[in-house]
Amino acid sequence: MIDCIFTGDVMPGAKVVTASPDPKLLGRFREADLVVGNLECPVVSEPPAAMDTRKIPLWADAANLPILRSFGFTHVSLNNNHIFDLFEEGLDETLGLLDNAGIRSFGIDYGTLSQYRRVSVKGITLGMAAVNWVERQFCGHLSRDIGDLDIGFLKKDCDFLIMFLHWGDDHNIFINRDQQEAARRLIDGGVDLVIGHHPHVTQGCEVYRGKHIFYSLGNFIFTPREEYGSLPYSIRYEDCRENVLFQRPECKIGMYVTVVFDRTGYRVTGVSPVYREETLPAALPDPLVPFFDDMLERMNGQVRGSAYELNEAGRRMILTRYTLPLILTHPLYWPVFFKKLRVGKAVGFVKQGRMGRLWKK
């Protein structure tokens, strides 16, 4: 029997974290045989000399790696839209630091690293593979898409095949059609468990053909930036990237999933919320329990009903209530806005039918 914990995004940040982890949460994690999360940034020992400024780059100080060890992280996926923010030099250093810390990585085809990793514990073999669907123009050469992976071959190599998907719409608690259709195709093809992350918020889950799909587990360890307020783009690189979207309770609440694998199958033994007031997660405060319960019911209801119109409504709400007002009222945000507003991206948006559906509503 293998006791596993899966988390969402991990990004401890460029400032050294001095806070102590929640002892109760720490104790539960240390009991697990495997703890797996998505490392949402490169890790380096000194401030980087160069960053990919086509977007807002993320990075973490190597002094924060003991935090991951204290939570018992054994493996991290690197297949996401920020792992290449400090280019190949940053990735190389990250791999060395992780190896020295005893944390195994997987998810990208780079050097000796593979998109797929086989892990054997107590006579049971787990296969873990990762795919990134977000901003692939920045790191697409490091990974392959789902269609390029031979799911049948991978399934024969392990007892249980777990797929980690970096996908979904930023800050939107409702899934889109592509997520659900892809997740179900993966299950049809032989995947046993789907773990999603990226949107910085949690999303719903479902059981399809007896297999579990968790569309997003949200942030787990993530550097806060509320205290910085609205800062210009040119000085947001030193952990000053916060905006009002990250201040919402939806973004401060994440989840971790406990799963037990044995020779007869697997069972999900817990879906637990955590709350991140600052960088480190802790137990969900009592006043927020009703809020989380309601949010979880709405998210799962949307998944059950495949109500993709809620995803579209959420996209419009985020754009009009948060993103555009923030950009329009702070001219120094305009450079990154226009960098992101590429013609190719706009054309892709229309081709997916999202622009058409938005205007029809």
Residue-range domains of the chain with CATH: 2-307 (3.60.21.10)
Residue 353: predicted pLDDT: 46
Rounded to whole angstroms, how far apart are CA atoms 55 and 339? 8
* Per-residue CA distances from 28 to 83, 104, 162 (Å): 28, 20, 22
Rounded to whole angstroms, how far apart are CA atoms 160 and 265? 8
Give the mean pLDDT of 138-149: 73
Rounded to whole angstroms, how far apart are CA atoms 187 and 202? 21
Residue with tokens 């319960």: 293
Cβ of 332: how many Cβ atoms within 10 Å? Answer: 14
Q: What is the pLDDT of residues 208-234, one digit of tens each?
A: 999 999 999 999 999 865 433 333 334
Give the mean pLDDT of 36-49: 94
Give me the percent of the chain exceeding a pLDDT of 70. Answer: 84
Give the mean pLDDT of 105-122: 93
Residue 33: predicted pLDDT: 98
Judge contact between 201 and 234, C-beta under 8 A.
no
Give the mean pLDDT of 183-202: 97
Buried b / exposed e over 113-141, threshold 16 CB at 10 Å, is bebbbebeeeebbbbbbbbbbbbeebbee
Q: Bridge partners of 6?
A: 36, 257
Give me the percent of the chain exceeding a pLDDT of 90. Answer: 70
Rounded to whole angstroms, how far apart are CA atoms 220 and 218? 7
pLDDT tier for residue 172 given thresholds of 50, 70 and 90: very high
Give the mean pLDDT of 188-199: 97
Q: Which residue type sits at 292?
A: F
Is 112 or 64 the better-scoring residue by pLDDT? 64
Rounded to whole angstroms, how far apart are CA atoms 331 and 241? 15
pLDDT score of 159 more than 50: yes
Q: How long is the chain?
A: 361
Residue 240: predicted pLDDT: 43
Residue 349: predicted pLDDT: 44
Q: What is the pTM of this model?
A: 0.88
Residue with tokens 């329009």: 328
Residue 203: predicted pLDDT: 98
Mean pLDDT, the chain, integer: 87
Q: What is the pLDDT of residues 235-285, one digit of tens each?
A: 343 444 455 777 789 999 999 999 999 999 999 999 999 999 889 999 999
pLDDT tier for residue 312 given thresholds of 50, 70 and 90: very high
Cβ of 275: how many Cβ atoms within 10 Å? Answer: 16
Rounded to whole angstroms, how far apart are CA atoms 108 and 337? 28
Rounded to whole angstroms, how far apart are CA atoms 297 and 281? 22
Q: Edge-to-edge, what's the strand order for the sheet holding 160-166?
A: 116-121, 124-132, 160-166, 193-197, 211-214, 205-208
Residue 255: predicted pLDDT: 98
Judge contact between 33 and 51, C-beta under 8 A.
no
- The answer to which of 81-85, 216-220, 296-300 has the lowest mean pLDDT is 81-85
